[in-house]
Amino acid sequence: MSSQLPETIELRQEQGRVPYRAALAEMTARNAAIAAGTARELIWLLEHPPVYTAGTSAAAAELLDPRFEVVEAGRGGRYTYHGPGQRIGYVLLDLGKRSRDVRGFVHALEGWVIDTLADFGVESFRRDGRIGIWTTDIDVREAKIGAIGVRVRRWVTMHGFSVNLSPDLSHFAGIVPCGIEEFGVTSLARLGVSVDPPTWDAALLARAEDFLAALDRPCPDNARPNEEPA
């Protein structure tokens, strides 16, 4: 597997923390520029300071303790948390040059995260009726380890995924994550797997070629649209 991206896609890897509002503004501008043909596509890997983000379906009752800034994200989905120890991947690609299949894009994005987690010995999976990337937690119950969500404007994608490497999991208690109350949230660290951001990024990018190739294949019939924030 190669980590080399096509020249048409810019790779950006942040070592510091990027405030969510600043990232959202830049992502919005880049989305428009890609659609206009004046900028390259972008894969942007980063981390945010603690923040709760609200999607268009967020219910006020699901914001339990607004201990951090709350930002309207302008995407589908409900409340989610981003913060230190969680790696974010914003994926801005022009589907108009590919399959024009939003469902297929989401399915491929999920597969990219699932395959990368497997490289660290963590089995994860999709679950019908439950948005996100799931795994078996240390208490043998299923728990969410990653979030997936996109917005598409003029066939150009925005947002992407988040994966819990080693965040403070107590920070998720301020919200009902993605509106799902009956299941918990876990991380690689909680599962006993130590992965820092550079190591995660390298493993993820080693599978980028497979992810991009998947965008040109028909979407499985059982794949479903995913409106989770990321």
**Which positions are annotated as active-site residues?**
178
Backbone angles phi, psi at 48, to 5 degrees: -110, 155
H or E element in which residue 103 lies:
helix 102-118
Is 115 in contact with 107 (CB distance < 8 Å)? no
Is 124 in contact with 113 (CB distance < 8 Å)? yes
Beta strands in the chain (DSSP E): 9-17, 41-47, 51-54, 70-72, 79-82, 86-92, 124-127, 130-136, 142-153, 156-164, 184-185
What is the spatial distance between Cα 55 and Cα 210, in angstroms, rounded to a whole number?
A: 29
What is the spatial distance between Cα 24 and Cα 204, in angstroms, rounded to a whole number?
A: 22
Query: Rounded to 10 degrees, what is the CA torsion of 190, 191, 194, 196?
Result: -70
Is 154 in contact with 167 (CB distance < 8 Å)? no
Beta strands in 93-166 (DSSP E): 124-127, 130-136, 142-153, 156-164
Is 118 in contact with 64 (CB distance < 8 Å)? no
